[in-house]
Amino acid sequence: MSEAAWAILAENDRGGYTVPTAHLYPFQWNWDSAFVAIGFATYDIDRAYRELERLAEGQWDDGMIPHIIFHAPSDTYFPGPEVWGTRHRIPTSGITQPPVFGMALRQVHEAASAAGRPDAVERTRKLFQNALRSHRWWLRARDPEGTGLVSILHPWESGSDNSPAWDEALKRVPTSTKTTIRRKDTGHVDAAMRPRDEDYQRFIHLVDVYRECEWDPARQWEAAPFKIADVQMTGILARSTADLLILAQSLSSPEERGELERMHQVLTEGLARRWRQDLSRFVSRDLVSHRDVEAPTQACFIPLVALTLDDQQRRAIRSEIKRWLDGMVVGVPSTAPFSPAFEPKRYWRGPVWAVVNWLISDGLRMNGSEDLAREIEQGTVQAIERAGFCEYFDPTTGEGLGGGTFSWTAAAYLVLSQ
């Protein structure tokens, strides 16, 4: 099966960067590419570096790494560069995605060093600076009040676009748009597995608002009708910061190390405060309504990748995850099966995602749950072996859904089947 995974990554290669899958997602996506780089690091280190280097080409002068880099034109995706109207040298979207970049850089560097590659230090050092500038952007632009939690201003930034976690907040966003919506996704994939039209209207309303702010982070922060201090994003940022700190021991100055240490402390403290013992989960915070986001989604478990939990928390999380796995053919569902919002086939409202399982099992292992981590990893590998390298899986049947020949599913397979 590894050969099949390599073949998918080769097929989705567009010249040093990998599209998530042909037609449905014909550009370079931020967190997809970071996971793909980790996959490449298992067998082609040069290509792993290239993936991150090509992603870094899209980095804005203010440090943000956009969620889509439009390296080459394609008319099979909406919204394309003309809708975003950003002004980077290479056309990009105007929002970002989870910063898996730092995690990936550490993995790639370690693989390169183990292989004794002479170019490892120089290539990692350059990418380290890209990562550092992006982390500075995160704290400046997305936590201007210094709370230790970074916010998303658009559901697309979370990576889990139509998650029930955003339902309440998204309801307040108008459905009116200045941009004409021409969805392409439902031409590639069954509409029942995708976000609804109303979701798209709100997604595009938000793009219109931020484009009118000329993509200026301070103006966007003020104007944002959707603003959520997100535990998944903060968890990934904190973990990437920890990984950069490890690289910084040999590759960076004492000043930069100190800066990363401070970032790490602020983020892990912010994250730790989001634990809710009564729910056995971490919860995000809606900064518009000032309410906790209690919807049970995969995001609640992602802080495990960044925090060392106490015994009581570990026990609570273990039994909560087991409750979500109960009766499922494959876990972990992206929405708890006992939630009224659970839809096993609709995108981020229930299906299982290989990269999410990768993060959750990594976090469980860090927190002493090796057995549960292995169970989730093996379940993921088996689901892929049965159904193929699909975008996501129905947890109640194991059926493969969404786009086929998916890059990050191939990368997850390579890493989790090791």
Query: How many whole angstroms separate alpha carbon 398 and alpha carbon 383?
Result: 6
CB 394 within 8 A of CB 345: yes
CB of 378 to ligand 2M8, least distance (A): 23
Closest CB to ligand 2M8 among residues 90, 246:
90
Q: Which is nearer to ligand 2M8, 5 or 251 (CB)?
A: 5
Q: Which C-beta is closer to ligand 2M8: that of 67 or that of 349?
A: 67
Which residues contact ligand 2M8 by CB under 6 A?
20, 25, 29, 31-32, 67, 156, 159, 161
Minimum distance, C-beta of residue 161 to ligand 2M8, in the bound complex (Å): 5
Query: How far, in Å, CA of 251 to CA of 234, rounded?
Result: 24
> Among residues 40 and 156, whose Cβ is nearest to ligand 2M8?
156
> Which residues, other chains included, contact 259 with Cβ-Cβ below 8 Å and sequence gap of 6+?
132
Distance in Å, CB of 196 to ligand 2M8, minimum: 12
The smaller minimum CB distance to ligand 2M8, of residues 161 and 377, is found at 161
CB of 261 to ligand 2M8, least distance (A): 30
Answer left, alpha or beta for residue 167, where phi above 0 means left and psi between -120 and 50 means alpha.
Answer: alpha
How far apart are the C-alpha atoms of 271 and 147, rounded to whole Å?
A: 9
Which positions are catalytic?
A: 161, 391
Least distance between ligand 2M8 and beta carbon 348 (Å): 7
DSSP strand pairing (284-286 vs 392-393): unpaired
The pair phi, psi for residue 262, each rounded to 5°, is -65, -45
Q: How far apart are CA 371 and CA 380, in angstroms?
A: 14
Phi, psi of 134 (to 5 degrees): -70, -35
The Cα–Cα gap between 38 and 47 comes to 10
C-alpha 348 chain-centroid distance: 12
Tokens of 42: 């298992």
